[in-house]
Structure 1
Amino acid sequence: MRAPSPVGLLLAVLGLSGCVPEPTYDLVLAGGRVMDPASGLDSVRHVGILGDSIAAISANPLRGTQVVDVAGLVVAPGFIDLHAHGQTQGDMEIQARDGVTTALDMEAGVFPVAKWYASREGKSPLNYGATVGHRAVRVFVFHNGLEVGHGPTNPGATAGLGPLPAGANQPATDAEIVALEAALGRGLDEGALGVGFGVNYSPGATAEEIERSFKVAADRGAAVFVHTRAFGIGAIREAIGAARAAGAGLHLAHIGSSSLGDISEALALLDSVRVAGQDVTTEVYPYTAGSTRLESAMFNPGWQSNLRLDYGDLAWPLTGERLTAASFERYRRQGGWVVIHMMKEANVAKAIAHPGIMIASDGVPFVNETGHPRGAGTYARILGRYVRENQALTLMDALARMTILPARRLEVRVPAMARKGRLAVGADADITIFDPATVADRATFAEPTLRSAGIPHVLVNGTFVVRDGQLVAKAIPGRPVRAPLKP
């Protein structure tokens, strides 16, 4: 009989004695209810993190240099906001306390794209990214190369143009459309996540211009992210038709406000075109009011019939007053954010409950801590009001709309998104931990920056940005979310 080798004996002894050392993780989240909509996992697990990635999800305890007890809490993928206008560090800190780990401006967009990404490098608590913005490109073309960058995040950029700038209101010539196409293509080649359109803010854009701009996105495998030309079913049909003609994937911004009283018809239309094979998605925020700049083209003459609103539906956040004809004209000349009370709760709830609709905040930048509470409370409001209290959604369904659905919307063009929106070995360690019994929004129109309750921990790329309910000072682990660059 052949004698066992020394190596074989050593392995046998180690195996019998259990001396093979267990790995030690940088951080272990111990004993939480791990909920991963991508896989359907919903069970008590221990999550091990090495560096910026998830390295283990185990039913058995794990060893860690740092171990955080999260028993009784939900451990979920970090929330992905596809409609985050507020891209400053302060805006992102507010969103972090609402559980957001990736904040993307997909509707307004930016231009020039490369300059914008460079300006954010090493400064962000959250992962960040943007489309190339059709509105900003229009200003660039119509105003001699003026670079306004990030649209509403930089409200002063177009202040000198007045309330009726050519970049918003003037139809483009064929030569100008060619210039628009070139600039949009440049932005996509520089890594933009898609093309963003605020058609309601650019009433001069003709159907031909929109369709040709959509085609630029389609030719590069990108989707278009669209604020429709007006509110109601007609404008939604226009966007769907233009995307179909161009062959572009389409994401419609805030279906609750875009459809207004036509919500049932709009949802049925979206279902029917998807069944027919068209790539169309949408989103909703859980509030009955919107917000935008009063000097924008949205409030050009005729706005009352276009928006189905009147002066008294508008509120000035700095004072809380409802507007009159006189105050409307005064504040429009001055410029600033206005809150628009425009939706019925029943219609918002119907959109939230409809299958496959994502959650996105449309959060606008906070100026002197005034603004709309959706930038601070959207995600906690869904979890507290619509899951726990109203039971309009299951918890797993709600989490899917905040995580894996927005990740999948982007991951074909943006491979980095295939590592986000899920809890799995190898995924980015973007993680939101909350108490399902207490999570709730606290932000109001009077105090729009109040942090959400019941979200004690938020990690971005394996680093705490919120710990024990408090912001972690100087934590800026956010990274760019960007499509591959074209050489």
Structure 2
Amino acid sequence: MLSPSKSLSGDSMSPTGDSCQGVRSITLLPIPMRAWSAAPLRLRTTPAARRTQETHPMLVRILVTALCVFLLAPGPGLAQELYDIVILGVRVMDPETGRDEIANVGIRGDRIETITSEDIRGRQTIDASGQIVAPGFIDVLAGIGRNREAHTFKIGDGVTTVLGMHGGPLDVERYAEEHGAVGPLVNYAATVSHSGLREAVGATDRYAPATPEQIEAMRPLAVQAIRDGAVGIGFGVNYTPGASYEEIFALFEVAAAEGVPCHLHARYKGNVFPLTMSLAAMEVVAIAAATGAQAQLAHLISSTVGSAPLSIALVEGAYARGVNVGFDFHVWTRNQTTLQSALFDEGWQERFGGAEYSDVYVAQTQERLTEERFFELRSRPGGLAVQTEFIPEEEMIMGLLSPLGIVSSDGGGLVNGRGHPRSVGTFARFLGRFVRDLEVVSWMEGIEKITLLPARRVETAIPRMARKGRLQIGMDADVTVFDPTTVRERATYADPARMSEGISYVIVNGTLVLDRGAIVEGAVPGQWLRHPRPIS
């Protein structure tokens, strides 16, 4: 039995055996036991009354229990609600509502539970004074493969969701299993690739159209992949230039029927009339309009090379008139592809805006090619990754000024620490150079291009994306905190494996995965964002 001088601590037990956890230590003043039976008025007492006075320890026990309940009850100044993670004193920026204020953010489980100016407490506390908290960045065109290092680079760049919209394998369930086995840090999803569908039906010649029979055989394969979780159909038509309009049209019909988007590397590159990027944009706009499918032109600005004004105008004009089209692009002056691809067929220099052989670099070694070396390496079997310096920054700015322009990385990860720095530092580069330094767009507009806009482009196919790309109560706790004064890319073409600077904290599905710029070991919060609707 508890005596009047017993101390109550955070793990005291109630009379029923329940713990009074959370109660600060309280010491009841020691009172001589005789005092509890004193009768100041010296009234005459009956035997029954004397028996009641003798049971005073039970009265103390009841009072102590009541005190525990009172102190544990929620209320101002008594017990404050405890969140899993709180971010304090941070500039909150939500592009959907336009909210822009200094506040505190409380996260419980995998959701944002409060955004308030009131004091809040959490099991994990992040002091983010002077920094910006935004929705986690969404990379709508990237590959992370079965490589956890690729996940860490994305997290270090503020990215919480990676979408392989340029095309994944036909075996979607195996794709998900292999990515899950990595211990994913980011959320991930992929489309099924047009080239994979072609190969599956025997259309292996990239310069030849599929036969009518092969086209019909692709339809159920695409449907099956979508039923298994693919979130769209990804096309690399510039890599399979023989693909016919009928072939593209048929797969757009499948996508429209199943409610998933088509994401395209367009058929042509550059501004050499008549086979220009603008003509390729016309193809996509026309087929999208005719089928009702949603279409997205991938890495548009690395394909325009002089045709950006007309290409962007075509997409914007069609969108304004009800055609569901958009575009994305990266913000680097080099691309990366394989030297053996159709992009380097005859006439490539003109399509690349007058590029020279010396503008082509081997990705792994940064060897700068000569004409002789170009043809020597191109004649070898396989696929040698090369980078070409040719993308004008002026056209990137045109893309950023478009309300439809989305920034993506088009990055596929590094191999032995080598590759394109876009896989590591695209979003920090965009924020540091184009938002802060060049002031092409405002902070809110810049954040929108890497959060809300990509989320909206895919939320029909991936309903969970309606809870991402927003920093609001009830939304998924995918959150990025960055320092607007220091954010920048550190990755370079010569040394691409350098994590971005100024990305301080990243939270994925309510789990802290980047803490003061360092990866949190053991965290595996990433989830597969599959297309949910089975096909009847």
TM-score, normalised to structure 2, is 0.81
| Mean CA deviation greater in 450-459 or 105-114 | 105-114
Specify which of 220, 229, 235 is matched with residue 267 of structure 2.
229
C-alpha distance in 1 between matches for 2:157 and 2:77:
43
Aligned to 1:80: 138
Whether the 8 Å CA contact 2:74–2:81 is kept in 1: the answer is: no
Q: Aligned-pair distance for 1:51?
A: 1.5
| Mean CA deviation greater in 360-369 or 343-352 | 343-352
C-alpha distance in 2 between matches for 1:436 and 1:238:
40
Q: Aligned-pair distance for 1:16?
A: 12
- Alpha-carbon displacement from aligned partner over 1:31-63 (angstroms, at most 9, x marks no partner): 111111111111111111111111111111112
Aligned to 1:141: 201
Whether the 8 Å CA contact 1:433–1:458 is kept in 2: the answer is: yes
Q: Aligned-pair distance for 1:209?
A: 0.4
Specify which of 289, 311, 315 is matched with residue 244 of structure 1.
289
C-alpha distance in 1 between matches for 2:78 and 2:255:
53
Q: Aligned-pair distance for 1:19?
A: 6.1
Give the SS at the match of 1:321.
Answer: coil
C-alpha distance in 2 between matches for 1:322 and 1:230:
25
- Alpha-carbon displacement from aligned partner over 1:303-332 (angstroms, at most 9, x marks no partner): 445545453332112232222333223323
Mapping for residues 20-31 of structure 1, pairs under 5 Å: 21-31=79-89
Using a 3 Å threshold, how does the CA distance of structure 1 residues 13 and 288 change in structure 2: closer, same or farther? closer
Q: Does 1:99 align with 2:144?
A: no
Q: Aligned-pair distance for 1:111?
A: 1.9
Aligned to 2:385: 337
Mapping for residues 404-415 of structure 1, pairs under 5 Å: 404-415=452-463
C-alpha distance in 2 between matches for 1:108 and 1:15:
54
Aligned to 2:209: 171
Mapping for residues 149-228 of structure 1, pairs under 5 Å: 166-228=204-266
Mapping for residues 277-316 of structure 1, pairs under 5 Å: 277-308=322-353, 309-316=355-362
Q: Once the two structures are aligned, what percentage of the paired residues are identical?
A: 40
Using a 3 Å threshold, how does the CA distance of structure 1 residues 97 and 58 change in structure 2: closer, same or farther? same
Using a 3 Å threshold, how does the CA distance of structure 1 residues 96 and 16 change in structure 2: closer, same or farther? closer
| Letter matched to residue 130 of structure 1 | A
Aligned to 1:317: 363
| Letter matched to residue 103 of structure 1 | V
C-alpha distance in 1 between matches for 2:74 and 2:389:
70
Aligned to 2:514: 466
Specify which of 157, 174, 188 is matched with residue 115 of structure 1.
174
Unpaired runs of 5+ residues, structure 1, are 1-10, 144-165
More RCO (CA 8 Å, sep 6+):
1
| Letter matched to residue 448 of structure 1 | P
Note the aligned Cα RMSD (angstroms). 2.2
Give the SS at the match of 2:448.
Answer: helix
Aligned to 1:7: none
Aligned to 1:6: none
Whether the 8 Å CA contact 1:288–1:348 is kept in 2: the answer is: no
| Letter matched to residue 53 of structure 1 | R
Whether the 8 Å CA contact 2:305–2:351 is kept in 1: the answer is: no
Q: Aligned-pair distance for 1:194?
A: 1.0
| Mean CA deviation greater in 384-393 or 321-330 | 321-330
Q: Does 1:124 align with 2:210?
A: no
Larger Rg: 2
C-alpha distance in 1 between matches for 2:129 and 2:475:
22
Aligned to 2:16: none
| Mean CA deviation greater in 395-404 or 366-375 | 366-375
| Letter matched to residue 483 of structure 2 | D
Aligned to 1:3: none
Q: Aligned-pair distance for 1:374?
A: 1.0
| Letter matched to residue 241 of structure 1 | A
Q: Aligned-pair distance for 1:118?
A: 2.0
| Letter matched to residue 466 of structure 1 | L
Specify which of 427, 430, 447 is matched with residue 478 of structure 2.
430
- Alpha-carbon displacement from aligned partner over 1:316-353 (angstroms, at most 9, x marks no partner): 12232222333223323153211021211211222122
Whether the 8 Å CA contact 1:200–1:227 is kept in 2: the answer is: yes
Aligned to 1:375: 423
Whether the 8 Å CA contact 2:406–2:453 is kept in 1: the answer is: yes
Whether the 8 Å CA contact 1:86–1:366 is kept in 2: the answer is: no
C-alpha distance in 1 between matches for 2:206 and 2:144:
22
- Alpha-carbon displacement from aligned partner over 1:432-469 (angstroms, at most 9, x marks no partner): 00000111111111111211111111111111221111
| Letter matched to residue 172 of structure 1 | A
Q: Aligned-pair distance for 1:409?
A: 0.7
Aligned length in residues: 456
C-alpha distance in 2 between matches for 1:172 and 1:356:
33
Whether the 8 Å CA contact 1:259–1:266 is kept in 2: the answer is: yes
Q: Does 1:46 align with 2:46?
A: no
Q: Aligned-pair distance for 1:219?
A: 1.1
Give the SS at the match of 1:475.
Answer: coil
Give the SS at the match of 1:286.
Answer: coil
Q: Aligned-pair distance for 1:411?
A: 1.1
| Letter matched to residue 180 of structure 1 | M
Using a 3 Å threshold, how does the CA distance of structure 1 residues 43 and 300 change in structure 2: closer, same or farther? same
- Alpha-carbon displacement from aligned partner over 1:201-237 (angstroms, at most 9, x marks no partner): 1122111101111111011111110100111211111
Aligned to 2:310: 265
Give the SS at the match of 1:187.
Answer: helix
- Alpha-carbon displacement from aligned partner over 1:122-160 (angstroms, at most 9, x marks no partner): 5211111111111122222227xxxxxxxxxxxxxxxxx
Using a 3 Å threshold, how does the CA distance of structure 1 residues 24 and 13 change in structure 2: closer, same or farther? closer
| Letter matched to residue 169 of structure 2 | V
| Structure that is richer in helix per residue | 1
C-alpha distance in 1 between matches for 2:286 and 2:356:
30
Give the SS at the match of 1:90.
Answer: helix
C-alpha distance in 1 between matches for 2:144 and 2:217:
28
Whether the 8 Å CA contact 1:135–1:167 is kept in 2: the answer is: no
Whether the 8 Å CA contact 1:30–1:68 is kept in 2: the answer is: yes
Whether the 8 Å CA contact 2:71–2:78 is kept in 1: the answer is: no
| Letter matched to residue 178 of structure 1 | E
C-alpha distance in 2 between matches for 1:170 and 1:268:
31
Using a 3 Å threshold, how does the CA distance of structure 1 residues 458 and 16 change in structure 2: closer, same or farther? closer
